[in-house]
């Protein structure tokens, strides 16, 4: 009786044929080039020929991967923002600390993974070109903005359910937190518009302070036994 045929094992990434590895790498190179140009020039002004040239391929090769400029842009949003929403979602499920600590960790995590990178320029791009290109704004909303707000609401609902936060409207609270993210994304790419001359901003310290303000407000806590 012949020996059993061994079960197939998954092919490790490094053991894939060189051609298939190069194909995957080229898609990543095209997305990186597209992100650079979209952030630098905007959606309307970016031509697919420029993306192909920066990635070191022909325009025809680019179209083998992305049929249109819109398809290229949506792939950039998915790669740089959509995947981060999935990561954020998993992180919320695994977090064991307080809900206030979760808010701080989530926004600081956003800064480190998105805000401090070129990907934060996508937000400014969409805001400036949404009126002329509603289709890219719709994709951004569906795949990043709305899921991100839903995750913020989940965090706030977690805190309310645990008695850590007062029973506010989670949607209103989520928009307050979103304001911190939007400001930081704008500041990253247009710093001189938001700060007084000579003012320095420590991004992580600023986010931590803004989260503290949102969670605690400006009012002094009322001492026990005293009327508000």
Looking at the structure of the chain, the number of domains it has is 1
Domain that holds residue 188: 68-216
Nearest CA to 105 out of 207, 225, 13 is that of 207
Res 189: pLDDT:
84
33 within a domain of the structure (yes/no): no
Q: Tell me the pLDDT of the chain (228 aa) as tens digits.
A: 333 333 333 444 444 555 554 666 889 999 999 999 999 999 999 999 999 999 999 999 999 999 999 999 999 999 999 888 888 888 898 999 999 999 999 999 999 999 999 999 999 899 899 999 999 999 999 999 999 999 999 999 999 999 999 999 999 999 999 999 999 988 888 876 677 777 788 999 999 999 999 999 887 766 665 555
Residues 6+ apart with CB under 8 A from 215: 100, 103, 165
Res 222: pLDDT:
63
Within 10 angstroms of residue 224's Cβ, the number of other Cβ atoms is 5
User: What CATH number does residue 189 fall under?
Assistant: 1.10.357.10
Q: CA 178 to CA 183: how far, in whole Å? A: 9
72 within a domain of the structure (yes/no): yes
83 within a domain of the structure (yes/no): yes
Radius of gyration of the chain (CA): 22
| pTM greater than the 0.85 cutoff | no
114 within a domain of the structure (yes/no): yes
């Amino acid at each position: 009786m012949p020996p059993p045929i061994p079960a197939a094992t998954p092919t490790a990434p490094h053991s894939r044929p060189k051609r298939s590895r190069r194909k995957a790498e080229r898609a990543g190179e095209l997305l990186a080039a597209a992100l650079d140009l979209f952030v630098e020039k905007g959606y309307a002004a970016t031509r697919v020929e420029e993306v192909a040239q920066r990635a070191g391929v022909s325009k025809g090769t680019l179209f083998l991967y992305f049929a249109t400029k819109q398809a290229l842009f949506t792939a950039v949003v998915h790669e740089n923002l959509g995947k981060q929403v999935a990561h954020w979602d998993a992180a919320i499920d695994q977090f064991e600390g307080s809900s206030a600590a979760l808010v701080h960790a989530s926004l600081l995590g956003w800064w480190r993974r998105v805000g401090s990178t070129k990907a934060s320029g996508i937000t400014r791009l969409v805001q400036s070109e949404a009126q002329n290109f509603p289709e890219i704004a719709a994709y951004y909303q569906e795949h990043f903005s709305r899921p991100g707000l839903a995750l913020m609401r989940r965090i706030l609902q977690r805190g309310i359910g645990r008695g850590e936060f007062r029973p506010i409207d989670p949607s209103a609270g989520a928009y307050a937190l979103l304001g911190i993210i939007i400001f930081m994304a704008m500041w990253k790419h247009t710093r001189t518009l938001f700060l007084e001359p000579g003012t320095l901003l420590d991004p992580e310290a600023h986010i931590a302070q803004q989260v503290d303000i949102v969670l605690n407000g400006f009012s002094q806590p009322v001492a026990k036994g005293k009327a508000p």
